[in-house]
Amino acid sequence: RRERRPPPRGEETTPAAGPAANAHNEERWRPLPPHAWPAPWRERLAASRPGLVAWTYWNLGRDLCGAQDEQRQARRAFLQRLLGDLGHPAGTHTFWPACLPRGDADNAPDAENYAPHADAFWSGVSTLGARGVVVMGSAAAKALALPGGLRPLQQTRHRGHLIWVLWDVEYLLHEEQRYGAMLAFLRQALRHVIRT
């Protein structure tokens, strides 16, 4: 029989963060009211419309706030095609960025001036009335504090919302063979959220 010894002084024991710990943290999280968000997030909320499904990817903040360029136009065309192929009614989808310009940026926004704010993001998703979130790419998933190990075409629940993980938009622009699988996954996953 092994004898349990107390931990040495100064060391704390904490249980491993398993499903029960994650569920407990989910129950404790509450959306922040918009007045508690950083200014760029409040401004973006005023320019956003509600939707049942929120979409995000790392470069969305730059696409919404930055200058027009070819990459932005390519991402926009891809997303328009995807939403058209899904065929949901107008107002079903909304776009909410994973990162926005820092409030203290004096110059025109560039890549270094953008930062995520997970609490403002998830609070915004709740405020916009989204039942679920499509997260495109690992950079966005990390910025939003999603559980590690999520892969494309997986579903999870986080902070009270269904989450569907896809490949990054930049990757999908050059990997046409993934499009059919992604479209089938989204049609199946979103039918539980959207009653068309």
For residues 131 and 112, give the distance between their C-alpha atoms in angstroms, rounded to a whole number.
31
Domain ranges of the chain: 35-190
Cα–Cα distance measured from residue 103 to residue 28, given in angstroms and rounded to the nearest whole number: 28
User: Over the stretch 137-168, which tens digit does the pLDDT of each residue have?
Assistant: 999 999 999 999 999 999 999 999 999 999 99
Please tell me the predicted confidence (pLDDT) of residue 107: 56
Instruction: List pLDDT tens digits, range 97-143.
Output: 999 988 665 554 566 788 999 999 999 999 999 999 999 999 999 99
* Dihedral sign from CA coordinates of 19, 20, 22, 23: positive
Q: Which fold has domain 35-190?
A: Uracil-DNA Glycosylase, subunit E (3.40.470)
Cβ–Cβ < 8 Å for 66, 145: no
Distance CA 6, CA 21 (A): 23
| 75-88 pLDDT per residue, tens | 999 999 999 999 99
Residue the block writes with tokens 């407990």: 24
Give the predicted TM-score (pTM) of the model.
0.82
- CA distances (Å), origin 49, targets 78, 96, 150: 20, 9, 28
- What is the pLDDT, as a whole number, of residue 11? 34
Helix axes 179-190, 70-86, angle to 10 degrees: 50
